[in-house]
A = this chain, B = another copy of it.
Amino acid sequence: MEFPKSTKFDRCTIEIVPRYCETDQSGVIHHTVYPVYFEMGRTELLRANGLAYRDLEKSGTFFVVARLEVKYRRPALYDEKLQLETICTLTTRAKVEHTYYLKRDGLILVEGTSALACVDEKGKLKSIPDFMYSKVESANAE
């Protein structure tokens, strides 16, 4: 398995169509579903940079969510297409931070931020690999 030497993209936008099972009896998407979408955004941002998260895991590198914040502005609805923008805002040896904007037709419905830590197969903290986000890191370092 070969990993990219650096990352080119610090953001990506994906489309998400809420599923029926994600609604609740108040008629909107249940509030615990949005962090699932955020995770999908992170997966696709990695993929845009040439990296599959499952390959990271196979190489013994796991990212775990250490902190999560969500602000709910307006409800999302079943089957109404959403656009999720995922932005990697900070990368250090110890953590990766992302910001999320979930929109419908340009209107922000939900915003979030998260911090991830990097662990090995046994859950022990380790440094974020050199091959990840290196371009962002050097940009931060300048």
Q: A residues touching B (Cβ–Cβ < 8 Å)?
A: 19-21, 23-28, 30-33, 35-36, 39-40, 43, 52-54, 57, 62, 64-72, 75, 77-80, 123
Q: List 9 A-B contacts (CB under 8 A).
A: A19-B36, A19-B39, A21-B24, A21-B36, A21-B39, A25-B27, A25-B28, A25-B57, A31-B64
Q: Is the CB of B72 within 8 A of A53?
A: no
The listed residue (B28, B33, B62, B65) touching A31 by CB distance below 8 A is B65
**Secondary structure at chain A's binding surface: helix, strand, loop or mixed?**
mixed
The listed residue (B69, B71, B79) touching A52 by CB distance below 8 A is B79
Cα A30 to Cα B30 in complex, Å, equals 13
Cα A17 to Cα B86 in complex, Å, equals 18
